[in-house]
Every structure is written in C-alpha cells, then in structure tokens.
Homo-oligomer: A and B are copies of this chain.
Amino acid sequence: MPRRSDARQRMVQAAKQLIRERGYNATAFSDVLELSGAPRGSVYHHFPHGKPQLAMEAAEAHAQEQVELLDALAEQAETPGQLIEAYLGRGRESMVASGYGRGCGIAPLVTEGAAEEIPEIAETGRHAFSVMIDALASHFVVLGAERAAAHTLAEAVVTGAEGVMIVSRALRSPAPYDAMLAALLGQADALAPASSGRA
C-alpha cells in the first residue's frame, strides 16, 4: 500500500501536469483524482482549502523543480551562456517531446484571473518566479557575473522561457527557442567578466 503522503504528492504532480496542459480553470479535482489514482475522500483531507491550495502547491513544485534543474545544469556550466543554453535546451526538448502540448505550471495562475480573486494565488505566482530568478542570478554570479547584471540577465532568461512556452507551443515549432536563445546569449556575452578575454 502506498503511504498517504504518496497520494498527496501524486495529486500535486497530477495537478501540475494538468495545469501545464490545460491551465487552471479547466483542471478539475476529478481530473486530478483520475490522473493520480488518489482516493476521492483524500482531496479535502490533503487540501482543505480546495483547488486553489492544490494549484498553489503545484506551482511551487514546478518552480522548485526548475530550481533543481538549474542547480544541476550549473554544475556542468563554465559560463552564464552555457547555463542559459543548457536550460533553454532542456525546455526545447521538453516542448517538442510533449508534442507542443505543455506550458508553464505557474503562468496559468497569473493569466486566468485567479490571482485577482485570491491574494494567496497572486503571491504564489510572484514567489515562484522570484525563486527561479534568484536561483539563476546566484549561479550567474558564481560563474563570474556582477550581481546586478546577473539579476537582470536572470530576469530576461526566466521571461524568455515563459515566452517560448507560449509562442513555440502556438506555432508548433522550436524556432522561438532558437531565436530567444540567440538574444539571451548575446546578453550573456555582454556581461562576461574581463577575465574571459573581453574588454
């Protein structure tokens, strides 16, 4: 028998997957239960504040996974540009592999009016993006970038990653990833430290 906490975790993962595929409003508890195989009675036991709570935990899980991915990729990167290339490369692969069927796990909380109705959802969206931007900026600093420039570049990368998840999905083409990567790499090159051989 799976432990009760497994069911909870499966529900968060199922919610995240469905929100990435069809957004917040079109994701019903019943769909989450079906996908996760969790028992119906477990919903309000695990998520007493209902769907908003589940969606917020899914968005936080999505951000946390992105941070862990960035941490892993940063281990292999020698420059900010290499980290950006690896991160957008993963996003590109994932988008193509999903048949252009999956977007961001946070964005729907921002775009579907839920944040206007429920302040905690707005705060979750703000926090999730901030966590990703701060993690990326820290890696850029370790890789030699000056702190303010690193934060600006990190904002641009997270913003670009959001944009490609919409435009690439709409066009059913990876081309927007390549176009955005070129712009971000140029920006990364521009902040390369003097030690890299640039003036």
Residues of A within 8 A of B (CB): 21-23, 25-26, 101, 103-104, 106-108, 110-113, 115-116, 122, 125-126, 128-130, 152-153, 155-156, 158-164, 166-172, 175-176, 178-180, 182-184, 186-187, 190
> A184: which B residues are within 8 A, CB to CB?
183
Contact of A170 among B110, B153, B156, B169 (CB under 8 A): B110
Quickly give the copy total for this chain: 2
If A25-B112, A183-B184, A190-B186 touch, does A178 touch B152 (CB 8 Å cutoff)? yes
Contact of A183 among B162, B167, B178, B187 (CB under 8 A): B187
Please determine whether A153 and B167 come into contact, CB atoms closer than 8 angstroms.
no
> A159: which B residues are within 8 A, CB to CB?
160, 163-164, 166-168, 176, 179-180
**Nearest Cβ distance between residue A162 and chain B, in whole angstroms?**
4
If A162-B167, A166-B110 touch, does A156 touch B180 (CB 8 Å cutoff)? yes
The CA-CA distance from A129 to B172 in the complex, in Å, is 11
Tell me the interface secondary structure of chain A in the complex.
helix
> A25: which B residues are within 8 A, CB to CB?
23, 25-26, 112
Max count, chain B CB within 10 A of own CB: residue among A113, A158, A160: A160
